[in-house]
Amino acid sequence: MNAFKAPMKTRAAFAVRRRLLAAALAALGADTMRPLTSYASTPAPLPAPLPAKRKYALVIGNARYAVAANILTNPVNDARLIADSLRKRGFDVAMLTDVTTTQMEAAVDEFAGRAADADLALVYFAGHAVAVDDVNYLFGVELPLPLAEVRIRAAQQNSLSLRRVSQTLRRAGIRARLLVLDACRTNLTRGAPAAGLVHTVPAGGELIAFSTQPGATAEDGFGRDGPRHSPYAFYFAQGLDTLPASAPVENFFKQLTGDVQVATAYRQVPHYASSLVGAVTFTSLADGQTPATPGGQPPQPGRGPSPTLGRDLIKARMSAWEYEIERGAQYLDEPRLESLVARARAGDVVAMTTLGLVAENGDHVEQNYQTAALWYQRAADQGFAPAQTYLGELTGMGRGVPKNYNAAERLFRAAAEAGHRRAALDLLDLKVRMGEPVDPREWTAVLQDAVRNPPGFPQPGMPPIQGLPDTPWMRALGVRPPAQP
């Protein structure tokens, strides 16, 4: 019996195969994963700051919410990072962390008074937010119930509306206003069905930037071994540190969109809306022609993760995304299903892949391999490696799509090259079954990587998984499947 013909649940079989493989190969004595040495690129020389009191910023980071389910990891770190970067640009910065709605309202009023008639003012918020009836609400830490249970009355009573912030800054006579929202950062199991922020039309002289697309969620970090910041905050600060003085702010946010969407495998696609007139820069209101190029070599714009983040971090994030997909498909109810559909329609590749796994497993809905393949294909078309791997497995089995080993091999190879360890194992398995010779060096590299960076299965909260397919390459290693109960 081989992997593609195993009668048990496909995903469970692959998970156990990886777990036992790592244990069987532990004797190789491979080095443990080396820690990253640096996350920050060398900043470019900054321009001399403008005269005082012409550029102001209010930075808020809310993480320690009153309800345990709402607690976030990185907003306070993000606020400090953004505040430091803005100060380097000559901004007069006020920073608040873990504040209530009342404190946020008072801070906005005080900030507008200090920045009255200024050239430029920026407000950055990291934390929980939600859209209710087309109004965006930013939550103070006193929010008394889990985010998934928030309804319009609770939102109005325990939050600061973005509309109020905009109106207050307009009344202060500030010439150019930038509102930046790194929210809502809820995960699949905590997110409300309508999680995320809705598109807002900016008033004249205003730019509103969102860390993710409408109706979707934003990531709270890079994982255990990555920078202690959200991807949006990390690339915001990195881009600001290297931004040419004459670069228009729209160019900066375009570059930020490119960096974040590639770094998150297109799960998170920032966007902005602007009614600014003329070329507003982070240095002045003068026109400028130089484009922003953080993360790249001039004159080519940068795209994707900074090289300093390292390939091991990308692999670790792949495993974390895969675990979220597995867990999301296993622990599903009607509100979570609605949230998945909304996120998938908004372009969230993790949600698309989870819906594919739900259809493939058939535990909560009628099993439908064709539907599974369609969802996987949508995410795979955006270059999401886990979806490429799952689609490759269906293709190798001929479930929902015609059986085609060559097509499966292409999918596995693309995912493996993107850093998905599971795809690398599947690729070796497929080569053996196709009768192709396997280069011993390739074999050794994949197995050592599996030992050095074992996939994180099982995870806390996941039930034990039974069963293991008997494949040719596992027999070659002397690994035998346990007896079936």
Q: Which two tokens stand for residue 440?
A: 């011993």
Q: Is the pLDDT of residue 64 over 90?
A: yes
* Domains, the chain, with CATH or none: 3-34+310-476 (1.25.40.10), 55-309 (3.40.50.1460)
Contact indicator for 425, 449 with CB cutoff of 8 Å: no
Q: Which residue has the higher pLDDT, 54 or 189?
A: 54
Instruction: Enumerate the H helices of 300-439 as residue ranges.
Output: 311-330, 334-345, 349-361, 369-380, 385-397, 405-417, 421-433
Whether the pTM exceeds 0.95: the reply is no
| C-alpha separations of 163 from 178, 179, 287 in Å | 13, 11, 29
Residue 120 is predicted with a pLDDT of 93
Q: What is the 3-state secondary structure (H, E, C) of 378-404?
A: HHHCCCCHHHHHHHHHHHHHCCCCCCC
Q: Is the pLDDT of residue 442 over 80?
A: no
The DSSP H or E segment spanning 85 is helix 75-88
Residue 28 is predicted with a pLDDT of 31
Q: Quick one: which of 332, 348, 409, 372 has its CA closest to 11?
A: 372
Q: Which residue has the higher pLDDT, 302 or 180?
A: 180
Confidence bin at 200 (pLDDT 50/70/90): low
CA dihedral 241, 82, 182, 166 (to 10 degrees): -100
Q: Is the pLDDT of residue 176 over 50?
A: yes
How far apart are alpha carbons 7 and 358 in whole angstroms? 18
Burial (CB count <10 Å: 0-12, 13-18, 19+), residue 408: buried
String of b and e for 100-133 (b: at least 16 CB within 10 Å)? bbebbbebbeebbeebeebbbbbbbbbbbbbbbe
How far apart are alpha carbons 432 and 170 in whole angstroms? 66
